[in-house]
Amino acid sequence: MTWTEGLVGRRVLCVGTDLADVAEIRGVLTRQPAFRTRAFTEAERAYCDIPRDPAERYAVRFAAKEAVLKALGTGLAGAPLTDIEVRRAPGGKPSLHLAGRAAALAEAAGVRTWLISLTHTAAQAHAMVAGIGDET
């Protein structure tokens, strides 16, 4: 089964997108070291901190978290950022895992699964998410 076969007959309930400036995230990481633990899970930090300059990886994950909260209609105040985790399959495909308040918001909205697309350059990081509901 391909990833699209599981989506046939299901509804897109919400969509969110965000663009993050990599230099801005790099500056926040430098000026506010606690930002890493406030905004990113332990697994995300372990992955992001592999390269010498982790700013692109952090920026695209921050964009994904903000895109999820936009899709849920709350913005950044809706849930702790650590309630939203960007996971990476061995082949590189990203996925989302929600916990706590973010999971409760998604459940209330009828979201059962998420589609996520991430891309970044040295300057910008973009994320787009779509919350998918049950069959129509």
Known binding residue 5? Answer is no
How high does pLDDT run on average in the chain?
93
Which pLDDT score is estimated for 135?
Answer: 72
Residue 41 CB neighbour total at 10 angstroms: 19
* Mean pLDDT in residue range 96-115: 97
DSSP E strand boundaries for the chain = 10-21, 84-88, 94-98, 113-120, 124-135
Which pLDDT score is estimated for 1?
Answer: 43
Known binding residue 18? Answer is yes
Q: What percent of the chain has pLDDT over 90?
A: 87
Model confidence at 10, pLDDT cuts 50, 70, 90, reads: confident
Cβ-proximal residues to 36 (8 Å cutoff; 6+ apart), any chain: 29, 45, 58
**Domain positions in the chain:** 5-131
Asked whether residue 9 carries a pLDDT value surpassing 90, the answer given is no
Asked whether residue 103 carries a pLDDT value surpassing 50, the answer given is yes
Model confidence at 108, pLDDT cuts 50, 70, 90, reads: very high
Q: What confidence tens digit (pLDDT) does each residue in 42-94 have?
A: 999 999 999 999 999 999 999 999 999 999 999 889 999 999 999 999 999 99
Which pLDDT score is estimated for 3?
Answer: 52
Residue 89 CB neighbour total at 10 angstroms: 8
Asked whether residue 7 carries a pLDDT value surpassing 70, the answer given is no
Look at domain 5-131 and name its CATH class: alpha beta
Which pLDDT score is estimated for 101?
Answer: 97
